[in-house]
């Protein structure tokens, strides 16, 4: 057995050791990062403790290295947006709608017609994904609505009648703000809501809530933005076609 800070550990050794080694530094990084940006996103230790860090970790375990790198950039605001370009003397404008400054959040909220159409389609796909993975509708429908409001109305409210556990999750998510829900920082209250419905699959369902945001919503709007910026023959599309060709050749070889 293992003891950490007077606590006896009998299971999940790796997770507990990682938490003991990294938690203090991670909290410090989080609080410094979200309190030095001219007050745009100001977060406290209470906000930190609301986030489902365990759920984020579980969701990222099964993803590819490429996916994890993009998600890390998304969650930390390190995407190559106009705002990042502005730090190096380039234009900050959104390449799609010509807004004054393109931020990570703006990618989800861009008013250019093709971007809006992509969002509308991705939300339908997102609901289908959650349904196919047997996530209770009373849980995923309010979450999708919050995501839709964050992307289209730049606000989050929930007037519909929901269960007490889901209401707590909704309110907790709203308190974290628009930037965080679009980046995939879900409140740990979603796990508690899932536990009240189906405790056996709550962890797996939470994993899919995260993956849906990253693989469907984020990927769709980001790819449409890249197509608009670079055209269909942009470097990202060329890379994807080359990768697909390689995979098809390999499939043909071993079929």
pLDDT tens for each residue of 97-140: 999 999 999 999 999 999 999 999 999 999 999 999 999 999 99
Domain that holds residue 16: 1-33
pTM of the full predicted structure? Answer: 0.83
How does pLDDT run across 206-235, given as a tens digit for each residue?
999 999 999 999 999 998 998 888 776 655
Same domain, 165 and 80: yes
Number of Cβ within a 10 Å radius of residue 223? 14
State the residue for tokens 């796909």: 125
Do 100 and 10 lie in one domain? The reply is no
Write out pLDDT tens, residues 156-205.
988 888 899 999 999 999 999 999 999 999 999 999 999 999 888 999 99
User: 62 and 99: one domain?
Assistant: yes
**Which tokens is 117 given?**
């159409």
H-helix or E-strand containing 180?
helix 178-183
Q: Do residue 142 and residue 79 come from a single domain? A: yes
Strands 7-9, 2-4: pairing kind? antiparallel
155 and 218 belong to one structural domain: yes
Could you read off the pLDDT of 13-32 as tens digits, one per residue?
A: 677 677 777 778 888 889 88
Tell me, what's the pLDDT at 212?
Answer: 96
| Residues 28 and 144 reside in one and the same domain | no
Task: Give me the sign of the Cα torsion angle 120, 126, 132, 138.
Answer: negative
- Count structural domains, the chain: 2
pLDDT in tens, 33-44: 887 655 567 888
The Cα–Cα gap between 79 and 26 comes to: 20
pLDDT for 11: 73
Contact 217, 224 (CB under 8 A): no
């Amino acid at each position: 057995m293992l003891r950490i800070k007077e606590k006896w550990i009998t299971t999940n050794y790796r997770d507990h050791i990682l938490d003991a080694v990294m938690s203090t530094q991670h909290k410090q990084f989080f609080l410094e990062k979200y309190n030095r940006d001219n007050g745009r996103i100001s977060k406290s230790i209470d906000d930190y403790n609301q986030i489902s860090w365990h759920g984020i970790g579980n969701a990222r375990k099964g993803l590819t290295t490429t996916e994890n790198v993009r998600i890390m950039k998304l969650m930390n605001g390190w995407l190559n947006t106009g705002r990042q370009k502005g730090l190096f003397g380039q234009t900050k404008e959104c390449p799609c709608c010509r807004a004054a400054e393109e931020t990570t959040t703006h990618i989800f909220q861009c008013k250019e017609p093709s971007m809006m159409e992509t969002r509308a389609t991705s939300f339908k796909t997102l609901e289908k994904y959650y349904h196919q993975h047997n996530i209770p509708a009373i849980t995923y429908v309010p979450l999708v609505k919050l995501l839709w409001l964050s992307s289209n109305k730049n606000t989050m409210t929930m007037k519909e009648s929901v269960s007490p556990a889901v209401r707590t999750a909704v309110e907790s998510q709203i308190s974290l703000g628009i930037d965080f829900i679009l980046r995939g920082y879900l409140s740990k209250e979603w796990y508690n809501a899932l536990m009240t419905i189906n405790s056996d699959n709550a962890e797996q369902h939470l994993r899919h809530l995260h993956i849906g945001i990253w693989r469907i919503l984020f990927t769709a709007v980001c790819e449409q933005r890249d197509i608009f910026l670079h055209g269909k023959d942009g470097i990202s599309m060329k890379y994807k076609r080359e990768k697909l060709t390689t995979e098809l050749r390999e499939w043909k070889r071993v079929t």
